[in-house]
Amino acid sequence: MLRREDPYLKIGETNDRSKKGESEYVWALRDINFEVEQGEVLGIIGKNGAGKSTLLKILSRVTSPTTGSIKAQGRIASLLEVGTGFHPELTGRENIYMNGSIMGMTRKEIDRKLDEIVDFAGVERYLDTPVKRYSSGMTVRLGFAIAAHLDPEILVVDEVLAVGDAEFQKKAIGKMQDVSRGEGRTVLFVSHQLNSIRALCNKCILMINGFIDCYEDTECALMKYLNQHDVLLSNIWENSSDIFNYEEFSPLKMYSVNSEIEKSSMFTNDRKIGICVEGNVLKKHHGFNIGFAIYNSKGDLIFWSLNTDIEPPKAINVDIGYNKIVMWIKPHFLNEGDYRVELITSIHHAEWLCKPEKNSPIIFFTIKGGLSDSPYWQETRPGIMAPINIFQKL
């Protein structure tokens, strides 16, 4: 009403859904400030209610901010919720043309993209069926295909990909990689599937209660998210998607074990730690190797180790079919802290050193107590590593 104060400009409480508030108003977002460069893939992670979807709605101009402003160069295509931007009474074909028109494309431009969109979505049989008859998975398939193929400079994708099946998720992640790396477009991606974030994103924003807690390298942001939110740092990985099947090797399981080869995620540094992988070798190649890369909680690579590090006959050979391999980390080698393990499966080339895959399987383990055997040093030793008995009198 006229001359009434705008209630949404009142100071509100922090957006903490776990506590009962005193105020009538809550800031869904507060003090948000960041920039995204062209061609960058930015992940946005955080608990439910942290403000991720609200942020994407504001960036997509679905919702206006109470204060502040957004500056974007280029067309933005958004996929925020199942059915966003669709008219349920219109057919799939009609919705494609409607969305393209909204984005400023001519009919001829949409005509050229139509077959590609339909093929990617896999809904050709139902293209002339009203969208209200589609399942949620079919709706997401078509929505993503439209958003990704109508040449937006900025692609904004919320958690909707979780609705699709494994085959579609793999296609969608591959498409987002293509549009960012190959075509130089910008992608903003919200997901609770951390492996998808790792496979796709260059940088990551971690949101807590409507604030940006950190904006940095993806691995560092993921580790902070796992640590700060008491998310289980899983020491067991099992292959549930063919995203992790490689040409030479199909991994089945990866996990950490103690000296008795019992699965565990918590260790002390005065005992050896084992990293196991089980899987099937599909092709024999003289340069094929399996190994692990170990990172600390800051994302620093501590070391990697491969089954081909030493010459035969001491080297561990892998054979066609099922294999189970363990790598042992010696006692007093790593210090207290949280660690991430990535599986390496690669081929040695003379001109190229193997490295972990971008979307390789990961597990976590924790070491409590970086102690030594010295009676003079009873506290946790400083540094990333904690070796002992390395002195010799010459």
pLDDT digits (tens, 9 = 90+) for 323-343: 998 999 998 889 888 888 988
Q: Which CATH number is correct for 236-367, 2.70.50.60, 1.10.12.10, 3.40.630.30, 3.40.640.10?
A: 2.70.50.60
| Residue 353: predicted pLDDT | 44
How are strands ordered across the β-sheet holding 321-329? 236-238, 249-257, 273-281, 321-329
| Residue 84: predicted pLDDT | 67
Classify each residue of 354-384 as buried b or exposed e, where b means 16 or more C-beta atoms within 10 Å of its C-beta: bebeebbbbbbbbbeebbbeeeeeeebbeee
User: d(Cα 127, Cα 141) in Å, to the nearest integer?
Assistant: 12
User: What kind of fold does domain 7-228 have according to CATH?
Assistant: Rossmann fold (3.40.50)
Q: Higher pLDDT residue, 353 or 147?
A: 147
| Residue 91: predicted pLDDT | 92
Paired residues of 129 in beta bridges: none
Region 128-139 average pLDDT: 87
Q: Name the nearest CA neighbour of 207 among 15, 13, 63.
A: 15
Of 29-43, 253-267, 357-371, least confident by mean pLDDT is: 357-371
Q: Higher pLDDT residue, 6 or 145?
A: 145
| Residue 276: predicted pLDDT | 95
State the pLDDT confidence band at 367, using cuts at 50, 70 and 90: confident
Q: What residues have CB less than 8 Å from 49, skipping those under 6 apart?
A: 15, 17
| Residue 83: predicted pLDDT | 64
Q: Positive or negative, the Cα torsion across 306, 310, 315, 317?
A: positive
User: d(Cα 378, Cα 361) in Å, to the nearest integer?
Assistant: 36
Region 97-123 average pLDDT: 85
**pLDDT at 350 exceeding the cut of 60:** no
Question: For residue range 156-202, what is the model confidence (pLDDT) as tens digits?
Answer: 887 766 666 667 777 777 788 787 777 788 888 888 777 678 778 88
Burial class (CB in 10 A: 0-12, 13-18, 19+), 393: exposed
State the pLDDT confidence band at 228, using cuts at 50, 70 and 90: low
Specify the residue for token string 């900025």: 154
User: d(Cα 147, Cα 144) in Å, to the nearest integer?
Assistant: 5
Question: For residue range 272-324, what is the model confidence (pLDDT) as tens digits?
Answer: 999 999 988 887 777 778 889 898 877 778 888 888 777 766 667 788 889 99
Specify the residue for token string 């081929």: 347
| Residue 23: predicted pLDDT | 60
Of 23-32, 90-99, 227-236, 330-339, least confident by mean pLDDT is: 227-236
Cβ neighbour number for residue 64 with a 10 Å cutoff: 9
pLDDT-above-70 percentage for the chain:
79
| Residue 13: predicted pLDDT | 53
Domains in the chain: boundaries: 7-228, 236-367
Cis before residue 313, ω within 30 degrees of 0? Answer: yes
**pLDDT at 25 exceeding the cut of 80:** no
| Residue 257: predicted pLDDT | 94
pLDDT-above-90 percentage for the chain:
8
Q: What residues have CB less than 8 Å from 88, skipping those under 6 apart?
A: 130, 131, 132
| Residue 101: predicted pLDDT | 83
State the pLDDT confidence band at 232, using cuts at 50, 70 and 90: very low
- Phi and psi torsions of 109, nearest 5°: -65, -40
| Residue 255: predicted pLDDT | 94
User: d(Cα 10, Cα 196) in Å, to the nearest integer?
Assistant: 38
Region 95-122 average pLDDT: 85
